[in-house]
């Protein structure tokens, strides 16, 4: 079984009828959404409401025929459980997210959830976050040169404006902002990095997610088995 599917199926066990479900973004989260859609259509789960973490996920919810269950964040009083993917996870459950540029709404919904479940395949596991992936940072468009300069002065390395491969010019997020991908040369501790980078004027959100906000990580393996850590 595909490791993403194995993790998605395991996450579905934490979703019950009546829940408000935060639905993550990216390929792994969309595998989970497909499983959830099947469970709803099959009558195994009922009376749920779905809060999407991106436009992509909103479209998928509608495409799967679940549009009536879709709610904006202001239409619910809370999120019972959020299920989302990640670009990197370490043993402290710290994450790098934002490979798909959806980090701001993801963090709002995921941090708001009573239970935040991360689903990944083994390729996402690293010793220490941030590691292989750059840190995505959503910025107000006209502020990007200043944020880039500040990051490079503070932590060294390089901060690059993310360009689109399918449109000319920079990637524009769901919130009409830009994304900087930052590779520091100095070691950044995730929770301190989250706090400091978020504090730079012009930064909307940073794709470092604090492990203390994550309830559990479900890892799908290539043999179809899964394991969890909390």
- Shortest approach of ligand 5RP to residue 92 CB, angstroms? 18
Q: What residues from 13 to 32 belong to the interface with ligand 5RP (CB under 6 A)?
A: 24-29
Among 60, 88, 106, 110, binds ligand 5RP (CB under 6 A): 106
CB of 181 to ligand 5RP, least distance (A): 12
Q: Does 6 bind ligand 5RP (CB under 6 A)?
A: no
Residue closer to ligand 5RP (CB basis): 98 or 184: 98
CB 21 to ligand 5RP: min, Å: 16
Cα distance between residue 12 and residue 28, in whole Å? 13
Q: Is 102 in the site for ligand 5RP (CB under 6 A)?
A: yes
Radius of gyration of the chain (CA): 17
Shortest Å distance, C-beta 48 to ligand 5RP: 21
Catalytic annotation present for 58: no
**Residue 137 β-bridge partners:** 180, 206
Nearer to ligand 5RP, 77 or 165 (CB): 165
Q: Which stretch binds ligand 5RP (CB under 6 A): 9-17, 92-100, 152-160, 162-170?
A: 92-100
- Closer to ligand 5RP by Cβ: residue 56 or 228: 56
- The torsion angle over the Cα atoms of residues 152, 201, 72 and 105, rounded to 10 degrees, is 10
For 70, half-sphere exposure in the C-beta direction (CA atoms, 13 angstrom radius) is: 18
Q: Which of 35, 58, 106, 205 is catalytic?
A: 106
Residues 109-148 that bind ligand 5RP (CB under 6 A): none
Residue 79 neighbours by CB distance under 10 Å? 24
Q: Are 181 and 135 in contact (CB under 8 A)?
A: yes
How many CB atoms lie under 10 A from the CB of residue 62?
14
98 binds ligand 5RP (CB under 6 A): yes
CB of 52 to ligand 5RP, least distance (A): 12
The DSSP annotation for 3-27 comes to: HHHHHHHHHHTT--TT-EEEE--SH
What are the CA-CA distances from residue 108 to residues 78, 91, 112, 122 (Å)?
Answer: 11, 23, 6, 26
Indicate which single residue of 35, 58, 60, 84 sits in contact with ligand 5RP (rule: CB under 6 A).
Answer: 84
What's the rounded Cα separation, in Å, for the pair 166 and 211? 33
Residues at the contact surface with ligand 5RP, assessed by CB under 6 A:
24-29, 84-87, 97-103, 106
- Which residues are catalytic, by number? 106
């Amino acid at each position: 079984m595909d490791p993403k599917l194995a993790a998605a199926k395991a996450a579905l066990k934490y979703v019950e009828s009546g829940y408000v479900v935060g639905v993550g973004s990216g390929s792994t989260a969309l595998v989970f959404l497909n499983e959830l859609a099947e469970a709803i259509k099959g009558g195994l789960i009922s009376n749920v409401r779905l809060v999407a973490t991106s436009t992509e996920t909103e479209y998928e919810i509608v495409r799967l025929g679940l549009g009536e269950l879709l709610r904006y964040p202001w239409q619910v009083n809370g999120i019972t459980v959020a299920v989302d993917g990640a670009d990197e996870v370490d043993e402290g459950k710290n994450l790098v997210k934002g490979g798909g540029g959806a980090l701001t709404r993801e963090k709002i919904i995921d941090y708001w959830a009573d239970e935040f479940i991360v689903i990944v395949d083994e390729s996402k596991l690293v010793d220490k976050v941030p590691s292989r992936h750059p840190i995505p940072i959503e910025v107000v468009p006209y502020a990007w040169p200043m944020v880039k300069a500040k990051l490079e002065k503070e932590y060294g390395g390089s901060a690059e404006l993310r360009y689109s491969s399918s449109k000319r010019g920079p990637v524009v997020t769901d919130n009409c902002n830009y994304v900087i991908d930052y590779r520091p040369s100095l070691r950044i501790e995730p929770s301190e990095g989250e706090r400091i980078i978020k504090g730079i004027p012009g930064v909307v959100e940073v794709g470092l997610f604090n492990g203390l906000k994550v309830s559990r990580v479900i890892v799908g393996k290539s043999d179809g088995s899964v394991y969890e850590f909390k």
